[in-house]
Structure 1
Amino acid sequence: MKEYKHPGNEKNFYKGFTYTFKKEVVEQVLNGLMSQRYAAEKYGISRNTVASWCKQFNPDMGSKNHPKDKEIKKLKEKVEELEMLKDIQQYMLAELQKQVGREELEKFLPKQLFKEIQKKVHKNSK
């Protein structure tokens, strides 16, 4: 590894990194062991260099295709799905309340869920 001094800057810049070193840095970033910023600071290289290596070793590393972004998108979709299921279940319980009565339903449901059902019943009755 050769060391070069960038003119007008006190920071040392390195050229000629080995394939193994680049891969090691990228794996640490992709595995979530460190951020690109931290890797750049730790190894004394620019964040752009680390980002470039990440894209070189993992083409899916683009801003919209970052593994964490994909996971966040999946989790948001799951939350939406669960909220929809919750709404359906609350609607069904509100309908059940109409058939069996409020007191009977209250016996079998947790207090918080019962309160949410009452809000749903009150909202639907308007």
Structure 2
Amino acid sequence: MKTQKDHWLKKSYQKTTLETKLLVVDQILNGQLSTNFASKKYDVPRTTINYWLRKYSTLVQQNTGMGKNDEIKKLRERIEELEFVKDFQQDIIAEMELITGVDMSKNSLPKSLAKEIELKKKNRSKENGSINALGSVNKPSTKESKPNKNNN
């Protein structure tokens, strides 16, 4: 039976080997374990595991030799690359919607992206002689707008 003094006693933990620390950090970073579950499984306080994670991230940064400015530059380049890919995909979707006449983006994409695609479609339809994805030239048809004299 616990007494009032037991409540104030600090829990003692065993020293953890480097291999165990790296194993725990690796499992957490790979998503195999949560910090809480690792704490219970390995009998280590969560704060200690968080400390290991911080130490490991700074160790990795030092080993890669990448400073914050280099990391920011790399992330900006990645953002530019992803924006290019997004624009390219939106162009393809807009072109396919113009060709097929089916609004795919309204039902399957977030509203903000669907609006961007709608603007691209409007810009493309305004252009005369735009080239579609198949390589043929899209020009407004004049046959449909003119009445046919032979039908009378």
TM class, shorter-length: 0.3 to 0.5
In our comparison, the structure showing a higher alpha carbon Rg is 2
Q: TM-score, normalised by structure 1?
A: 0.46
